[in-house]
Structure 1
Amino acid sequence: MTEPHGPERPTPGPPAAGPVEEGDVLELDQSASSAAYDPVPARRAGTAGAGRFWSARRIPAAVLALLVLGGTGLLLYDVAAVRAGHPAMRWRRSLADQLAERPLQSAWLLGAAAAVVAIGLWLLVLAATPGLRALLPMRRDRPGVRAALDRSAAALVLRDRAAEVSGVQSVRVRMGRGRAVVRAVSHFRELDDVRADLDTVLGTGIRELGLARPPSLSVHVRRPAKKG
């Protein structure tokens, strides 16, 4: 037997907006956040060793190898010619005379030494750094398999996700190795609501990228500029 229902109680509506007290902040034109979306841990089981990809740097290596090969070959030929009783090449005699006559404080010598030091430091940096900053390593779910995602492709995926959020008129995504910065323009809806939806959608999108070190997320939402 069904008991009679009493009069329905009215659903309470949102509280009325009271007067703005001193110290309160009203954000009418933009909203920003640094979303905490619980990224996938970088060093869980099966993802250890998913480091950055090293660049082969074939062009600098080939240029250096050709220079060293040409210089040593020419010097070896000249030394062998001198040992055989022939005069040394003109360039080596001229270089020896210049080094003997010029003082160590000469601008020519200091400039040449600085150039050699700069080239050496550049080669050391190339040898000690991995390079390929545009590639974001992905999680290694299977041993022996390594994959990476291009930063521009990751930014394009997040931009498409953000463009699907209601109220977003345009969006720009800058994908770094440690942070994804999203700047959106919303032409309707409350900015805080749009920003909250973007936090949720983009947080899910970053997790689904499968990166070994998921970047943090920074979302900025503003109104379109007023036309004069």
Structure 2
Amino acid sequence: MSTLARSARAEWGSLYLAVRGTWTARRWRAVPLTLGAVCLTGVMHVVQHQAWGYQVVQDLGAVRAEDPLWLALLRTPLSLFVPALDLPVWGALAQILIVFGIAEMCLGWWRTLVVAYVATLAGTLYARVGLALGPGNPIGLPASDARVVDTGPSAAVVGLAVFLGWRYGAYVTAGAVIAAMVVEVALKENLAGKEHLAAIAAVLVLCAVAAVRQRRSRARAESTSGAPPIQS
């Protein structure tokens, strides 16, 4: 086995085995969330490009930092499936199909949904904090970003990629994703890039919480297995 093959196996072996096992056993039945998300994103794309549908989609899923917080939180769940108007829809569909699909086969649909929404919500809330800090702060935002429409699955995709990398030991991949997002902000400082970093920060907190819970579970299991037998 070549050095490259050994490195790839060490990096992605656990993830590959998890995906292969689930796919072999259940095929497309293993990814109902992913298929639903792809279909919903496609429908949102078609509707928002109709004369009658643009405002409907905006009212249901377009989030702006200038909106009242309660309205932004209400729209955030659907905003994940509203592709950005200035980007090709196939990019959003491919991101969802690949990253959501892998995550759903490895984590299950509800964990995938939780991580995706935590990442998306972190980006949405960061925008308000960034505006409050202002452009003079390294993590602040200019006032003009308050009117930027904030939709799409990119923050969720980035968050899921980092979480999967941590969960299955693909640390180089997770690090590469984080590094790419840092470079994105360094080269093109915009709202989307900084929201990606906020999403990563929120997911890293999830990873830390999960790691603590795992250590406690192992400690309890070892304590129980090592307890002396009860004398009758």
Asked if Structure 1 and Structure 2 have the same fold, meaning a TM-score greater than 0.5 normalized by the shorter chain, the answer is no
Bigger proportion of residues as strand: 1
Q: Greater Rg, structure 1 or structure 2?
A: 1
Q: TM-score, normalised by structure 2?
A: 0.27
The structure that is helix-richer by fraction is 2
Between 1 and 2, higher relative CO (CA 8 Å, sep ≥ 6) is seen in 1
- Calculate the TM-score normalised by the size of structure 1: 0.27
